[in-house]
Amino acid sequence: MSEDPIIRQMPHAIGPEKSVLSSLFKGDRLLDESPRPVHRDLFYHAAHRALFEDFVSVGNSWELVSTVQRLHDKGILDHVGGPAGVTDIYTYAPNGHHFAPHLDILCDRYARRMAIRAATAAAEAAYDCSGEADYLAALSAPVTAVFDAAADAAPTKGMKTLAADFLARFEQKVAGEMIADGIMTGIPEVDRHLHGMKPQHVGIISGRSSGGKSTLATQIFGGLTDALYLILERTEQSAFDRSVVQVARIHHGAVFDPKQFAEMSGRSRPEKRHLIAIQKAVNQLSTSNLHIVKPSNRRLATICAEIRRHVRLNKVKVVFLDQIGLVRGERVKGDTGEAELRGISNTLQELTHELAISLVVLSQVTADGETKNARAVEEDADWWLSIIQERDKKKANFGEHQHILIAKDSHHSSGGERLPLILDKDTLRFVHGFPASADEPKEAEKKDRFGNSRR
């Protein structure tokens, strides 16, 4: 057998290596937020390893110009392809969308390289070991390492880690920093059933168009601290304005059109109590670590990046997404809307788990009460608040708010429980009560557009 052995390259993936580096360089993905640990050995190409090590040495302050200079000063600029090589990698991935799948590829190739090295070491040990069982002993450590790498580098939590986590959480609870029951919505009827919005849980607020989904969501949001409201349709200002009405607990006219509202009630100026309530509401909203953000676009990746950024920078614990039907997922040709939404729902669910936040998604239903294409979201949700209005178009009270249906598991078909909550259109809050019975005497007097009785 004089044939030369076939020389094969070790498994590697140059494109995904460049993509992972590119996303890190551009800040599209952060090292400490990576779904899997990133380490130098994942990179097969020596220049990529060197660039990764340099990146780690400067962390998130990485930028192109000073990096080229630094690599030049270290004498390794030519080794990584010169300024053009660094720029090529920097611009390689248009965004961080494919960071996770590309990182998966690197982990896979790394595990395969380890397997080949382990097999080579085992072969050498089998040839060379003198003792009877030495070659078997030489096998076990590298093979275990290969299995570890292949099964992902995330270490499993041992009992000591679990115990330390428990004590840390317990101390937080004792100090009142973490509420055992989760974070209360501030609406007693809801809190009695839900016992708060819990980390890693996804909740849905659903209702028809203009049924009050945003109103219910901002009502909860305005009473919280450490929360983010992602608004995809209207402006941030509109959500803030509505929150002011809700926190101040006054008629919306006093906030949206104070001059006209005062004149309608026979005054030349707004009432002092209204001004004080508005001032207090604005103070509360601006000092409670609350954030209302309209993302630059509706792509799922952008929305996830906003959530990550606010969890990291502002330590938000509850995130509202207004509304899920507007999110654009990754749709492969031929996919149905339902398939796209399933992808969106899975991604959001995973993010909620990873960041240990509570996520509340708003979802629009059709006139028949069906969630638009959102069965996937329903299946994944931990709780569901459904705003119920009169559906019968023939009835005079069509559209009237009836109650809120609460369901606490993902099998909503079980029906859930009716909560006596209806929309008060004056203060834009959901308040205790069922609609007035049809037998009750009707309000005879006429009301102006702010609901004040006309004299």
Ligand X SMILES: Nc1ncnc2c1ncn2[C@@H]1O[C@H](COP(=O)(O)OP(=O)(O)OP(=O)(O)O)[C@@H](O)[C@H]1O
| Cβ closest to ligand X, residue 215 vs residue 352 | 215
Binding status of residue 347 toward ligand X by CB under 6 A: no
Binding status of residue 364 toward ligand X by CB under 6 A: yes
Query: CB of 341: closest distance to ligand X in angstroms?
Result: 17
Rounded-to-integer distance, Cα 145 and Cα 298, Å: 42
Query: CB of 425: closest distance to ligand X in angstroms?
Result: 5
Binding residue for ligand X, selected from 16, 182, 203, 211, defined by CB under 6 A: 211
Binding status of residue 386 toward ligand X by CB under 6 A: no
User: Which DSSP symbol is given to 317?
Assistant: -
Tokens 């601006």 belong to residue: 286
| Cβ closest to ligand X, residue 95 vs residue 265 | 265
Residue 374 burial (CB count, 10 A): 26
- Biggest CA pair distance of the chain: 110
| Cβ closest to ligand X, residue 77 vs residue 361 | 361
Start-to-end C-alpha separation, the chain: 110
Contact 274, 210 (CB under 8 A): no
Binding residue for ligand X, selected from 55, 92, 256, 450, defined by CB under 6 A: 256
Query: CB of 294: closest distance to ligand X in angstroms?
Result: 14
Burial class (CB in 10 A: 0-12, 13-18, 19+), 273: exposed
Contact 185, 191 (CB under 8 A): yes
| Cβ closest to ligand X, residue 215 vs residue 347 | 215
| Cβ closest to ligand X, residue 17 vs residue 322 | 322
Binding residue for ligand X, selected from 22, 23, 206, 215, defined by CB under 6 A: 215
Binding status of residue 213 toward ligand X by CB under 6 A: yes
Residue 360, both tokens: 């509340």
| Cβ closest to ligand X, residue 19 vs residue 206 | 206
Binding status of residue 292 toward ligand X by CB under 6 A: no
| Cβ closest to ligand X, residue 111 vs residue 318 | 318
The number of CA neighbours under 13 Å toward the Cβ of 95 is 7
Binding status of residue 397 toward ligand X by CB under 6 A: no
Query: CB of 406: closest distance to ligand X in angstroms?
Result: 17
Rounded-to-integer distance, Cα 197 and Cα 183, Å: 5
| Cβ closest to ligand X, residue 18 vs residue 274 | 274
Query: CB of 231: closest distance to ligand X in angstroms?
Result: 10
The window from 54-62, 72-80, 109-117, 212-220 that contacts ligand X (CB under 6 A) reads 212-220
Describe the chain by its helix, strand, coil percentages, rounded to 5.
Answer: 50, 15, 35
User: Which DSSP symbol is given to 410?
Assistant: S
Binding status of residue 222 toward ligand X by CB under 6 A: no
Query: CB of 421: closest distance to ligand X in angstroms?
Result: 13
Query: CB of 208: closest distance to ligand X in angstroms?
Result: 7
Query: CB of 382: closest distance to ligand X in angstroms?
Result: 21
Contact 295, 230 (CB under 8 A): yes
Binding status of residue 391 toward ligand X by CB under 6 A: no
Query: CB of 252: closest distance to ligand X in angstroms?
Result: 5
Rounded-to-integer distance, Cα 169 and Cα 189, Å: 28
Query: CB of 363: closest distance to ligand X in angstroms?
Result: 10
Contacts of residues 27-34 at CB distance under 8 Å and 24 or more positions apart, as own/partner, are 27/60, 27/62, 28/93, 28/95, 28/96, 28/99, 28/305, 29/96, 29/99, 30/60, 30/308, 30/312, 31/56, 31/59, 31/60, 33/308, 33/312, 34/99, 34/103
Query: CB of 362: closest distance to ligand X in angstroms?
Result: 7
Binding status of residue 246 toward ligand X by CB under 6 A: no
Cβ-based neighbours of 196, under 8 Å, separated by 6 or more: 179, 181, 182, 183, 184, 185
| Cβ closest to ligand X, residue 26 vs residue 242 | 242
Rounded-to-integer distance, Cα 105 and Cα 100, Å: 9
Sheet of strand 417-419, all strands in order from the earlier edge strand to the far edge: 290-293, 227-231, 318-322, 358-364, 202-207, 383-389, 401-407, 417-419
Query: How many chain residues touch ligand X (CB under 6 A)?
Result: 14
| Cβ closest to ligand X, residue 242 vs residue 342 | 242
Backbone angles phi and psi of 231, in degrees to 5: -115, 125
Binding status of residue 214 toward ligand X by CB under 6 A: yes
List binders of ligand X among 406-445 (CB under 6 A). Answer: 425, 428
Rounded-to-integer distance, Cα 313 and Cα 402, Å: 40
List binders of ligand X among 171-210 (CB under 6 A). Answer: 207, 209-210
Residues found near ligand X in the complex (CB under 6 A)? 207, 209-215, 242, 252, 256, 364, 425, 428
